Chain A
């Protein structure tokens, strides 16, 4: 149980284009999903918290107009990187917190999406 998927697993795009990444909880409902970013040799940095049916909460320094988050259902959240630039190249990882969990605070991570912007 508690499986989270991401699609695509990797993507290469040209500078200036937009890329959408999907995050799905496959066997549970997630009221809250989180988006993280990890640069090489660095740790995961929280970008935003996404709650189903409401606007995402962005961390300081993360541009909400550049990283668009939509949490349309209890099993799907999407991250769209708009007007991507080479410095946006990174490993994007989502996580989901089950709606009902004996371990309230646990988050389960998706496999990640490696974005390369040329």
Chain B
């Protein structure tokens, strides 16, 4: 059973601070990892993808992957109220064209 675990929150962060979102996964052969942002009633929007251990930065976002610990995280620097949303961690097995296994998401609230 492929599982992706996230703390559902809500995670409340003051505006301008760093928001830290965490995710663990159970399938050790997983190769590709994604963070999506989902606003209420909308479909997910890709924020970051990461495939190898270490950090990957894109603007205010940094994804971190540790395959040995089966752990993925997303840091959002200089958090803005518009960052308030549910953040979904998604995992894909290597090879083929498998779909994604999603966590339940962390509800992030940025307080002005």
Contact = CB atoms under 8 A, between A and B. Distances in A.
B88 A43 contact: yes
A99 B45 CA distance: 19
A50 to B, nearest CB: 10
Interface residues of A, number: 25
Interface string A102-118: 01011111111010000
Contact of B49 (A46, A95, A106): A106
Contacts of B101: 46
Chain A interface mostly: strand
Q: How large is the interface on B (under 10, 10 to 19, 20 to 34, 35 or more residues)?
A: 20 to 34
A69 B78 CA distance: 43
A36 B99 contact: yes
Contacts of B17: none
A46 B43 contact: no
A51 B97 CA distance: 9
Contacts of B103: 43
A46 B88 CA distance: 14
Interface of B: 31-32, 34, 36, 41-46, 49, 51, 88, 92, 97-105
